[in-house]
Chains A and B, each alone.
Chain A
Amino acid sequence: MSRIGVFVCHCGENIARTVDCAAVADALREHPGVVRAEDYKYMCSDPGQQLVKKAIEEDGLTGVVVCACSPHMHETTFRRAAAQAGLNPFVVEMANIREHCSWIHDDRERATAKAIDIGRTIVEKVKQDRPLETIRIPVTKRALVIGGGIAGIQAALDIADGGHEVVLVEKEASIGGHMSQLSETFPTLDCSQCILTPRMVEAYQHPRITLHTWSEIEKVDGYIGNFTVTIRKKARSVDENLCNGCGDCQAACPSRKVASEFDAGLGKRTAISTPFPQAVPNIPVLDRANCTLFKGRAKGLAKDACGKCKEACLKGAIDYDTEDTFVTEEVGAIVVATGFQLYDIGREQPAGLKGYGEYGYGEVPDVIDGLQFERLASASGPTGGEILRPSDGAVPRTVVFVKCVGSRDPEKGMSYCSKICCMYTAKHTMLYKHKVHDGRAVVFYMDIRAAGKGYDEFSRRAIEEDGAEYVRGRVSRIFRDGDVVKVWGYDTLSGRQVVIDADMVVLATAVRPQPGIAELAQKLSVSYDQDGFLNEAHPKLRPVETNTAGVYLAGACQAPRDIPESVAMASATAAKVLGLFSADELERDPSVALVNERTCSGCFHCERVCPYGAVEHRDVCDMEGHVCGHVAWVNPGVCQGCGTCVAVCPSKSVELAGFTDSQVYAEINALAGW
């Protein structure tokens, strides 16, 4: 016989304004099976919870219904209180009379009647609630970090320093990411590589960090605490164990005119190369698309057209016949730190993007993007740190910087602010003026967004001390006119058109997620927004978690981020991972699907619709132990309790604990007044 307690919350005025809470309590007190019903101003307060606990103890309640807010808000609060009073927490449920009733109605009488109905449905459901036990699953205390930029390096180091093993996967030949390409960093103007390379070396030498460079994530199986990850190690053609990084192969390589990705296309590299001198690991990769030997093989030449690098290698580390290999790693948590790319705004665009053909990027050589300017200003760059324009190598006397190219432009580009451009453009003007003293730096801007410690002071310094000219307005067109690059713009403060004969133009193009982010997100079952950035579980309160338990986000894969934020996020993910690894077992909500093996026909519709891959095949054996069929089995560690399998099962053999069909019918019957 059910003995149910109903507790109606006023939520201050939130509920009581439109719902007569005392009337709700009175009505539900008369409902069959209800032994106590009370109302109180703030049920979630400590005295409110005491009320619940006291009722459980005094009346020996078998179930509790709290008529208050959404279960997302306070279900945990009341379940915990019930558990303290000795009641199984899974017979405690919320009847949502706030979001579903008081907030959306204004007729007090009808809202009260509806609140009573909502209360009744949940009372009927709770009558059929069975005590459930929390699921416990083991945890593999190793972490995977995807992406070896500053965020990935920081997360890996923090987790490894916390005492656990880390697998760090980087798709390029070296870790370091975009930060290794930067010349100086805002707002301190310290050398980017000088502060980054020690962390790169530390990560490489850390005894608990396993590094896979030139590698990508092929497949992710499993669930929190128990992921199985397949990593594709792309064919490097260089044996990582034999190579000592002497560089003889690069010196011998005859293909010397390959556009360097590290120099953002401004410099040249050899076909076999390390991206930059401080690369970690200092082991080259043979770029087969640009290698004379492989181009010859692709053409079907009988004899290899080259082989100079192999001849030059004294260690015998070069092998032209290596293929992609696969490594499987067992991990308990995954940190995604895949970073960003800059919007390539040229005339040719993939579907869904418009680009900014009117800015001449990709057509006029002296129109470059922010990353290319970083390489021009960098001592390790193609010009050795001298600011020389790409077309003729001359020192540009007038440089125009255009901000918000593709950002904050819902018509043509991205609607969001790329966040880092205001600061790096201020930095660019300073770097330029420090090297070309009589040069003119003109910045077209919409707003100067310099929120951050020391940020506004930094951008003011660019204007006041270094003499950058800031013009508030947009640029309509950039084109080449003989020797100069014409910039047509508009000064919205003076209301005049501005035409500048520039020697070079630097576009602060929008920050976008890495290509392939959607595929990775699908492998990880992580959602992403319309721009491709990965979604956090809650924008304010769970900023580094995702909706897939055990997968965390660091850095610019989640939104445009600068270095301090990326590092802070990375350390936050490490704290989450270390917290997860602090116990030997994980506790999971037991509201998962259960298959009735006796009625399951083994059609596996459930397997096809399960968004989490939780359904597995189980053998069914006869009396002699011979396998005579297969049925579905739901892995409770993976199941998220969404109920999709319940809906598609043709023989009604799956039920969701705490949401059984009979409970749902009971709720409907309560509404129908039967």
Chain B
Amino acid sequence: MTLAYYPGCSMHGTSREYEESLLAVAAALGLDFAEIDDWSCCGASSAHAADHLLGVALPARNLALAEAQGADRVLAPCAACYNRLSGAAHAVAEEPGLAARVRDVLERPFANTVKVLSIVELLRGLAPAIEERVAARLEPDPLAHLSVATYWGCLLVRPPLATGFDDAEQPTGMDEVVAACGARPVRWNMAVECCGGAFSIARTSSVLRLSRAIIDDARRCGADAIVAACPLCHANLDFRQSAMSMKGAPPMPVLYITQLVGLALGLPLDLLGFDRHFVDTQPLLARLADDARRAAAGAAEREAARAAKAAARAQAGAAAATAAGGGGERTAPAGAVP
């Protein structure tokens, strides 16, 4: 089981905090992967709109490289890359004659044996390990009072036949990861609605309208933050938020799912790239730290109270036992409670 890593353009460019947090989390969870050597563009939203064969051949080239590298799975953290890579694998598997044409274009062997993994699929598989690590932490879980809206966008679970690792309308995988982190996933309405995607430049007003609906609903459903797994979604929700009229509502931090996992694992904040967001994450992080401090203090207080109570009970029990000659089992604790 060898895992290859396909960063695509965004992981090295616009969403460096996504890659930084991914690498930190991978190191913490002992996950080993190698970047595909000489990877190229997946074609993104342009290639498949221009030409079907081009739209398949561009991602297929990267799959062929991963294959040559001896990988049987490839991780594509960017939702658009994931969509193109898994879409190409599906098309080559399903369309008769396409595999031969693609090999022809690529001028290299391509057996289409590599499974394309999204970040959610990978982390969902690791959820038990994450949960175990969170439970093993000495200090109380910093995310215990955090409510997040898990935002999938359109590319991770659609089209269902090409992606297929979760339900297209009500996916649950991200919620499972969030729950493993100790945070609370809220039930909301916009998890798979469109943020406007690549129209961020061409039709900014549409993106503002669509993304605002998403942020509004997250707030209405009680989320403290949105968790995303797509650089484009993140850009629209985070970078464009200042341009949206929010009627005085506080800004909504937008985190990558890897950043949330990093927080849960207790990784140093400077490894997780929280300073790279447009919506300031500091108030949220401060609140979480505050919660954690209070929870720790509360726990210590409760522990002390419990110890005092136990001591009092032991004392009263001993007194009653001597008074009743050992027959006061029922009355002794009742008398000791007040």
Contacts and interface: CB of A to CB of B under 8 A. Distances in A.
B217 to A, nearest CB: 7
Q: Is the interface of B mostly helix, strand, loop or mixed?
A: loop
Given A479-B217, A481-B220, A412 B189 contact: no
A509 to B, nearest CB: 16
Given A477-B193, A479-B189, A347 B220 contact: no
A363 interface: yes
B35 interface: no
A529 interface: no
A360 B217 CA distance: 14
Contact of A357 (B160, B169, B193, B220): B169
A477 B170 contact: no
A347 B191 CA distance: 14
Contacts of A481: 217, 220
A411 B159 CA distance: 12
A412 B220 contact: no
B37 interface: no
B193 A354 contact: no
Contacts of A412: 169
A358 interface: yes
Nearest to B220: A481
B170 A357 contact: yes
Interface in B211-228: 217, 220
B189 A354 contact: no
A477 B167 contact: no
Contact of A477 (B160, B187, B189, B220): B189
Interface residues of B, number: 9
Contacts of B189: 358, 360, 477, 479
B246 to A, nearest CB: 15
B187 A354 contact: no
Interface in B181-227: 187, 189, 193, 217, 220
B325 to A, nearest CB: 30
Contacts of B160: 411
A479 B220 CA distance: 11
The winner among A356, A360, A481 for most chain B CB atoms within 10 A is A481
Contacts, number: 21
Given A477-B193, A479-B217, A481-B220, A358 B169 contact: yes
A358 B217 contact: no
Interface string A604-636: 000000000000000000000000000000000
A255 B170 CA distance: 37
Contacts of B170: 347, 354-355, 357-358
Contacts of B167: 354
Nearest to B217: A479
A363 B187 CA distance: 10
A62 to B, nearest CB: 58
Interface string A404-424: 000000011000000000000
Interface string A355-388: 1111010010000000000000000000000000
Contacts of A479: 189, 217
A344 to B, nearest CB: 15
Contacts of A354: 167, 169-170
Contacts of B220: 481
Nearest to B192: A358
The winner among B167, B170, B187, B193 for most chain A CB atoms within 10 A is B170
B247 to A, nearest CB: 13
B192 to A, nearest CB: 8
A411 B193 CA distance: 19
Nearest to A354: B167
Interface string B153-196: 00000001000000101100000000000000001010001000
Interface string B104-146: 0000000000000000000000000000000000000000000
A347 B187 CA distance: 11
Interface of B: 160, 167, 169-170, 187, 189, 193, 217, 220
16 contacts: A354-B167, A354-B169, A354-B170, A355-B170, A356-B169, A358-B169, A358-B189, A360-B189, A411-B160, A412-B169, A477-B189, A477-B193, A479-B189, A479-B217, A481-B217, A481-B220
Given A354-B167, A477-B193, 12 more contacts: A347-B170, A356-B169, A357-B169, A357-B170, A358-B169, A358-B170, A358-B189, A360-B189, A363-B187, A411-B160, A477-B189, A479-B217
Interface of A: 347, 354-358, 360, 363, 411-412, 477, 479, 481
Closest 8 CB pairs of A and B: A479-B189, A357-B170, A358-B169, A477-B189, A347-B170, A357-B169, A354-B167, A358-B170
